[in-house]
Structure 1
């Protein structure tokens, strides 16, 4: 990943970097791996994520 710093504007370059990392899901992965998650909690979380994803897709399909 390459971020260009234009006109010595480091703050803007950091914002662009953070946005790219967030879009890739890097922060989410770091948060999940920062502590141990019991297998039952992992299954529950994944199931909730799948339900959320399914509802979102159904909502988008109903639009069109």
Structure 2
């Protein structure tokens, strides 16, 4: 292994050993969803029949946008 790669790997292991302190999961300025208010939870079973709404996969230009 090249020395540079070795130093990068050692640095990554040091960050992991420190439990990723200084590396938040979500940056505070990007945390825009209020857990209790804006977040929806959906529970599905593997046996449930779900409509995939494939019509939403097709892009359509909205002439009234802008």
TMscore range, shorter length: 0.3 to 0.5
Q: Relative CO higher for 1 or 2, CA cutoff 8 Å, sep ≥ 6?
A: 1
- TM-score using structure 2 length: 0.34
Structure 1 or 2: larger helix share? Answer: 1
- TM-score using structure 1 length: 0.35
